[in-house]
């Protein structure tokens, strides 16, 4: 539990979000455009971080489904900023050595003639360190 407390405090610190303000209304998940892709949804990220139940999140593909569209941040009636919580957990995962979610070698297979540079730099910014 000591490790989880440390992780919890670290994630809250770097996210700048106050997870204790969440009233479990679920509006963040209801408005999330990546909801169907996620195993853990934005309201679960907030709740699980608050409870220190972070290992399942660190190992979940849900980390890479958030689109940074900021809908949950703008529409949360309590100002919890769930996307910042998701981002802090994702950074905790990819900051470990060798834990990048994608590499340059993955790219040739997934680009086409029209792929904008913005798509690649955004993905690398979100998925790698």
Partner 1 sequence: MKVSYFPGCTLKNKAKDLDMYAYKSAEVLGVTLEEIENWQCCGGVFTTANDEVATKLSSIRALKYAGDKEQPLVTVCSACHNVIKQTNHAMQTNSAFADKVNRYMAADGSYKGETEVYHYLEMLRDLVGFDVIKEKVVNTLKGKKIAAYYGCLLLRPNKVMRMDDPENPTIMEDLIKSLGADAVVYAKRNECCGGYISLESPDAAKKNSIAIIENAKVNGAQMIITACPLCKYNLEKCGADIPVVYFTELLAEALGVKEDTNA
Pick out residues in 58-117 that bind partner 1 (CB under 8 A): 64-65, 67-71, 73-74, 81, 83-84, 87-88, 91, 102, 110, 114-117
Which distant-in-sequence residues (6+ apart) come within 8 Å of 115 by Cβ? none
The yes or no reply on residue 122 touching partner 1 (CB under 8 A) is yes
38: Cβ contacts below 8 Å, ≥ 6 apart: 32, 62, 65
Give the whole-angstrom CA distance, residue 79 versus residue 54: 21
CA distance 67 to 104: 20
Q: How far is the CB of 29 from partner 1 (least distance, A)?
A: 14
Q: Which residue from 4, 18, 60, 123 is in contact with partner 1, where contact means CB under 8 A?
A: 123
Tell me whether residue 5 or residue 129 sits nearer to partner 1 (CB atom): 129
Q: Return the percent helix, strand and coil in the chain, to nearest 5.
A: 60, 0, 40
- 42 neighbors 82 (Cβ within 8 angstroms): yes
Indicate whether 53 belongs to the interface with partner 1 (CB under 8 A). no
Q: How far is the CB of 66 from partner 1 (least distance, A)?
A: 9
Could you list the residues that contact partner 1 (CB under 8 A)?
13-16, 33-34, 36-37, 64-65, 67-71, 73-74, 81, 83-84, 87-88, 91, 102, 110, 114-123, 125-126
């Amino acid at each position: 539990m000591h490790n989880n407390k440390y992780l919890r405090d670290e994630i809250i610190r770097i996210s700048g979000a106050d997870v204790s303000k969440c009233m479990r209304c679920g509006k963040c998940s209801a408005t999330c455009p990546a909801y169907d892709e996620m195993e853990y949804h934005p309201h679960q990220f907030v709740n699980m971080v608050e409870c220190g139940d972070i290992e399942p999140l660190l190992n979940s593909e849900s980390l890479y489904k958030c689109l940074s569209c900021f809908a949950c941040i703008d529409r949360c009636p309590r100002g919890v900023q769930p996307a910042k919580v998701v981002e802090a957990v994702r950074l905790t995962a990819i900051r470990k050595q060798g834990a990048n979610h994608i590499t340059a070698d993955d790219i040739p297979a997934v680009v086409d003639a029209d792929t904008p540079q913005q798509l690649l730099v955004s993905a690398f910014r979100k998925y790698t360190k």
